[in-house]
Structure 1
Amino acid sequence: MQLRMDGFVPPATRSYLGHTFIIESWPEASIDKSAAFVKVLTFAANLSGSSLNSYINGEDARGERRMNNGVIRTRKALKNALVELLREKELREITISEIVSRAGYSRATFYAHYQYKEDLLDELVEEVIGGFLSAFKEPYENDRKRYDLGQLTPSTVRIFQYIGENESAFALLLKRDNLGFQEKLLEAIRTIFTQEYDLLFPRVPAHIDREIYINQNVYSILGLIAYWVNSGFRYSAKYMTDQMLEIARLSMPRMAKL
């Protein structure tokens, strides 16, 4: 684990109370490393056991995870490096040394954040899917009572905008089946449709099998996304959103008659 204090993270490895502290950079080249580590221990000693553990584990006073800007920048650089390398070779062929070299960091930095390169990939996939789900939920999350598919506009439906903003990641992850991204995205969409079925599909008659209807819509959305990605993002995000909404509205009158 890393213990950050007053803007620096230690460049050597030390242990205290069973935790490993990695000091990666120093405010001044001439600083006495031993003296700096004493400061770390003094800071740690002033915390209670639970507070120390929370601080080391990256939690705030409420026990919630926190992440400073330096950690965010480092992890983003490592993930960008992984994406670049995955365009060139398979994951099994990529080494941690290649990842950190491409990102401009040391191996010690990598191991301060991840244990394996697969952990880095998992976090990348989780972030991409998490952002997609947030974009998907945006039209109804803040005002569920007023949600109406017939009233949605391209400005309120952001899933294609989000994909366009993360074009490189989607293009890579969707085309590489062995990374498990497509199945995880499918499952994430299926989970939303299952949990929000009554809200998202209020006009579907009771005699329509719910599971079949959900899966038909899951694969329909994934098919549109895959088509757009495989076409090299031939159309704009707005055009794709327009088409998706028009297609969805075509089925509304028919559903009302069933």
Structure 2
Amino acid sequence: MCKHNSSDRRIKKSKKAIKDSFLLLMQEKDVREITITEIVKAADLNRGTFYNNFQFKEDILDEIMDDVMKDFILSYREPYQHKETFNIKDLTSSTIKIFKHVAAHKNFYTLIVKSTVWYTFQLRICHELKRLPLQDLMDSKQNTTINIELFSTYQAHAILGMIIEWIHDGFNYSPEYMAEQLIEILNYNHGQTIVIKQTDNPEQI
């Protein structure tokens, strides 16, 4: 039993070293340019250990993204996990965990938005942001004139847009502030009257 646990710890340690080295190399070059030789050298491991854990270098990033997405899903579900009912008005900045998740994986998100695989990962985030409310939540006062699929898509892209802007701006706000702003936006009165700004030149763009 102890031998098995020791083997598991060794595998986890090797995998972590490989993943950390891969992310470190991503700071210097594009994913496609990183070689297995560079990865094992940075991780201080041999190629045999690499192939005991991964078949291709692309598998490393796939597993990293899987790990991040699992944590992302847990973070999204945190406000209503183990509850029978959930009211958006009950949300507080401390119950919203998505932005804390992004901050916790700050290094990964900063690197991934600049990489050639960002579009693929962005689609995964957007898919989950759309899927989770459709799968987990049901509005007790649903407006039947609203297409729930389109509404979920709208919300998914809105939240993703906040995350992307936050990353591009170098995490200039705290996760708590971002959560507070999301709450304000969710509770915002969409029925407000919009005032058109007047300009001296009506043709001005």
**Cα offset, 1:190, TM superposition:** 1.6
Tell me what 1:184 maps to: 124
The 5 Å alignment of 1:16-165 reads 68-143=8-83, 145-165=84-104
Counterpart for residue 207 of structure 1? 145
Q: Which one of 181, 184, 205 corresponds to residue 243 of structure 1?
A: 181
The match for 1:5 is 3
CA distance in 1, matches of 2:145, 2:113: 34
Normalization by structure 2: what TM-score? 0.85
Q: Does the CA contact (< 8 Å) of 2:30 and 2:115 recur in 1?
A: no
Q: Structure 2: which 5+ runs fail to align?
A: 192-205
**How far does residue 218 in structure 1 lie from its aligned partner after superposition?**
0.5
2:112 maps to amino acid: L
Paired residue type of 2:76 = F
Cα displacement string for residues 181-225 of structure 1 (whole angstroms, at most 9, x for unaligned residues): 111111122211221241xx4444011011111110010010000
Distance 1:191 1:177, change over 3 A: farther
- Equivalenced residue count is 189
CA contact under 8 A between 2:18 and 2:40: conserved in structure 1? yes
Measured in 2, the distance between the counterparts of 1:177 and 1:189 equals 22
Give the secondary-structure state (helix, strand or coil) at the position aligned to 2:188.
Answer: helix
Post-superposition offset of 1:243: 0.3
Residue aligning to 2:160: 222
Q: Which has the higher contact order (CA 8 A, sep 6+)?
A: 2
| Aligned twin of 1:25 | none
Distance 2:114 2:71 in 1: 19
1:153 CA displacement: 0.9
The answer to whether the Cα contact below 8 Å between 1:100 and 1:107 also exists between their aligned partners in 2 is yes
- Does 1:166 pair with 2:164? no
Q: Return the offset for 1:162.
A: 1.2
The AA in structure 2 aligned to 1:80 is: D
CA RMSD of the aligned region, Å? 2.0
TM-score (norm 1): 0.68
Q: What are the ranges of 5 or more consecutive residues in structure 1 without an aligned counterpart?
A: 10-67
Deviates more, 1:214-223 or 1:165-174: 165-174
Q: How far apart are 1:6 and its partner, in Å?
A: 6.1
Percent identity over paired residues: 31
Give distance in 2, aligned partners of 1:107 and 1:240: 43
Specify the code of the residue in structure 2 equivalent to 1:5: K
Partner of 1:14: none
Post-superposition Cα deviations, 1:41-91, rounded to whole Å, max 9, x if no partner, equal xxxxxxxxxxxxxxxxxxxxxxxxxxx333222212211111111121112
Q: Distance in 2 between matches of 1:8 and 1:156?
A: 37
Secondary structure of the corresponding residue to residue 64 of structure 2: helix
On the 8 A contact 1:173/1:182 being kept in 2, the answer is no
